[in-house]
Amino acid sequence: MNTENESLQELRHIKQMMERSTRFSSLSGFSGIAAGICALGGIWLVVKKINLWREINLEHLDAPKDNLATDLLLIAISTFVAAAIFSFLFVYLRCKKLNIPLMGMSARRVVINMAIPLLAGSLFILRLATTGNYLMIPPACLIFYGLALVNASKYTLEEIRYLGLLEIIIGVINLWLLGHGLTFWAVGFGLLHILYGIIIWWKYEKNGIQKAGTITND
């Protein structure tokens, strides 16, 4: 016979299946923390590089011009790659721990829905660069990244939506403070990621595996 407990368990099972099939819940807080640290590291290198370049070029006007733009681009790319690798690694480890397939249906949805604004944004930023609108690049990165997060948040942890909104707000403020791109990047890509990483870890990972299946508060 169906007892109260069985009915409750059945409802819980239904809820869990509905959530598992629509949301990719095994994000790892460490991914956010690692991505944030990578971003801060990259920005620190950029600042150092720019200062060094200024020193050399102001003191020795005849010094051989090293290619600042290429160096900065290299730093940017390595930062991005490092952040992506670390984020992926921690999500991978978490999936393994929770025994959830990494590239399941819900994860694919997250990736696709992030990719749409990111691809459009990349092309937009590419045109900003080729038309010489360099100061517009940092806010554009923040805004499109925020849009990507908001768009994908329907298929993953709810918190990602607010992270996305914050990135957009920071990007928009940056639009009226052009020239402070690095500072805004440090806040948006560095501090926010670390903060969110800590929040996600605190909410979902601190107490071990048992909380992983349930996303919403019971």
Contacts with another protein, residue ranges (CB under 8 A) = 1-4, 7-8, 10-11, 13-15, 17-18, 20-22, 101, 104-105
Taking the complex as a whole, the smallest distance from the CB of residue 23 to another protein amounts, in Å, to 10
Q: Among residues 52 and 105, whose Cβ is nearest to another protein?
A: 105
Of the pair 15, 49, the CB lying nearest another protein is at: 15
Q: Closest separation between CB of residue 14 and another protein, Å?
A: 4
Sign of the CA dihedral running 78, 80, 85, 86? positive
> Are 120 and 144 spatial neighbours (Cβ–Cβ below 8 Å)?
yes
CB closer to another protein out of 86 and 155:
155
Instruction: Kindly list the distances between the CA atom of residue 50 and the CA atoms of 47, 74, 160, in Å, as whole numbers in the listed order.
Output: 5, 13, 33
CB of 204 to another protein, least distance (A): 20
Minimum separation from the CB atom of position 106 to another protein (A): 9
